[in-house]
């Protein structure tokens, strides 16, 4: 009877030892598998990060450029509206032509109010004087007013109107980011953005 018990005890101890070894091996295998999974995830993230940065920066940059173009277009329309609605013959202002001074002031104020500082523009002192073209320039900003611009509306005849152009500098850092993907890449991107507006002269003296 004691022999039977002794044999059973040995077999039980052997079984428990084998079970313990199996559990230890399984635990090691699980930890190694987890380590391999984490390493693969880190590698995938490292490979995807440059592409993600280019994508995010591209969205931010081109959205900013689009926003600037929209503000420039609105400012140009505002300047053209003021210009064509007033008589150019009024020369009692400092700049010589009140309508030109009012148009330049309207454009500069609009851009400044839209968070694109144009306070360096002095409506009373154009860089070049007209007629037909007045230009205001400072710090990369250019406002141009041409009150004798000839154009043909769609389906119409030749008209004389006012063409207003707004140019504003824009800082790009997209080229620095895209080098993460292509080290020698350099996109040809203009360092300023321009919008124009054309309106028919309404006042006889415009």
User: Confidence band (pLDDT; 50, 70, 90) for 201?
Assistant: confident
* Cα–Cα distances in angstroms (integers) from residue 166 to residues 9, 91, 113, 159, in the given order: 96, 24, 15, 22
- By CB neighbour count within 10 A (0-12 exposed, 13-18 middle, 19+ buried), where does 147 fall? buried
Query: What are 90-100's pLDDT values in tens digits?
Result: 777 776 788 99
Across the chain, mean pLDDT equals 81
- Exposure string over 148-166, b if 16+ CB within 10 A, otherwise e: ebeeeeeeeeeeebbbbbb
* pLDDT interval class at 19 (50, 70, 90): very low
Pick the most confident of 82-86, 104-108, 183-187, 199-203: 104-108
**Integer Cα distance of 149 and 84 in angstroms:** 12
Instruction: Please give the average per-residue pLDDT across 49-72, as a whole number.
Output: 88
What is the side-by-side order of every strand in the sheet holding 159-169?
133-138, 141-151, 159-169, 192-200
């Amino acid at each position: 009877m004691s022999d039977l018990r002794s044999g059973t005890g040995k077999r039980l101890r052997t079984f428990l030892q084998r079970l313990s070894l199996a559990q230890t091996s399984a635990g090691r295998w699980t930890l190694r598998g987890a380590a391999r999974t984490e390493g693969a995830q880190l590698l995938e993230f490292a490979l995807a990060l440059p592409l993600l940065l280019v994508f995010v920066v591209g969205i931010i940059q081109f959205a900013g450029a689009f926003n600037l173009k929209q503000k420039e277009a609105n400012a140009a329309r505002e300047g053209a509206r003021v210009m064509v609605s007033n008589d150019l013959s009024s020369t009692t202002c400092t700049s010589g032509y009140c309508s030109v001074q009012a148009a330049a002031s309207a454009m500069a104020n609009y851009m400044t109010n839209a968070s694109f500082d144009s306070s360096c523009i002095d409506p009373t002192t154009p860089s070049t004087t007209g007629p037909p073209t007045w230009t205001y320039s400072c710090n990369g900003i250019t406002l141009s007013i041409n009150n004798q611009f000839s154009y043909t509306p769609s389906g119409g005849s030749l008209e004389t109107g006012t063409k207003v152009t707004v140019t504003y500098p824009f800082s790009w850092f997209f080229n620095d980011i895209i080098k993460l993907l292509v080290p020698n890449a350099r996109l040809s991107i203009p360092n300023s953005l321009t919008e124009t507006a054309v309106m028919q002269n309404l006042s006889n003296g415009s």
